[in-house]
Amino acid sequence: MLLEVRDLWPDSIIPMGVVKDSRVIAAARKMEHYAYRRADRIVALTEGIRDGIAAQGIPAGRISLITNGVDLDIAGGEHPPADVGVPDDAFVAMYVGNHGTYSSLRTVLQAAKMLEDDPSIRIVLVGGGDQKPMLQEMARDLGLQNTTFIDSVPKRAVPSYLERADIGLIPYQDMPLFAGALPNKTFDYMAAGRPLLAAAPVGELTGLIDRADCGWNVAPEDPAAMAAAIRDAAANRATGLARGARGREYALAEYDRAVLAARFVRLVDDLAASPRSRARRRRAK
């Protein structure tokens, strides 16, 4: 059995208040521990997830790290910019992804309110999710004229939307849980050559931005800090272009999805060739 863990469950839902019933949490814990014990190898999506699994008493030798990455079949080549309904010369801060519980898009809207005095800056939010109706109502209540909502688009259309972005937003809530987050949109933005603006606890995402020098890090759930970073990026577009170019180069070198997929295949092949797997197949005959 090969188990891939893309979120720590139930650790990633308890702090959010999504599940509160102690009986449900206990049952989830039992399922989690059974899956970890039963798995011959475990694949973790991030270092934080890997460390969280190891904290459950699972030997480090049974855990492999395979992150999200850049799909060159989608991100490579030329992409005509999508029409996002803003002036051609506007500076666009864009979020592409799920409008759900984890992302603090309320912070983005609060920052947008602070940026209303600069008509050259626009906020574009692309995607769907359970929080989107609430966010649209919040934007109406704030009277935002600089913010545009766009419905979900197919994955292959994302590069065209990012062609119209000047900076990619990754806003998280201020919880230790998100210090280990490294979402797929990170690599979409980097592959498009767009600098990142992460509002996240210090951890995996902020460390990547620092190593690659590919964007801005600000404190999570701090609208003033986010607005200030967007102003800085808009006033220094050449800096943003340079950081975006460094991010793309770094992502292609370190996070090519073809390389990551080959690593996954080798892991499966090694597991299938192990003495334990051969013994199971003999018993099955």
Interval 62-84: pLDDT, tens: 999 999 999 887 776 678 899 99
The mean per-residue pLDDT over the stretch 269-285 comes to 74
Interval 1-59: pLDDT, tens: 999 999 888 888 787 777 888 999 999 999 999 999 999 999 999 999 999 999 999 99
pLDDT value of residue 16 = 73
Asked if 197 contacts 216 with a C-beta cutoff of 8 angstroms, the reply is yes
Domains of the chain from N-terminus onward:
2-69+256-284 (no CATH), 82-254 (3.40.50.2000)
The mean per-residue pLDDT over the stretch 217-234 comes to 98
pLDDT-derived band at 168 (thresholds 50, 70, 90) equals very high
What average pLDDT is seen over the chain?
A: 93
pLDDT value of residue 281 = 59
pLDDT surpassing 90 at residue 139: yes
The mean per-residue pLDDT over the stretch 218-234 comes to 98
pLDDT value of residue 101 = 84
pLDDT surpassing 90 at residue 285: no
Interval 198-220: pLDDT, tens: 999 999 999 999 999 999 999 99
Q: Against a cut of 0.85, is the pTM above it?
A: yes
- Please report where in the chains the tokens 């990455």 appear, as a residue: 69
Supply the DSSP string of 28-92, one letter for each residue.
HHHHHHHHHHH-SEEEESSHHHHHHHHTTT--GGGEEE----B-HHHHSS--PPP--SS-TT-EE
pLDDT value of residue 280 = 64
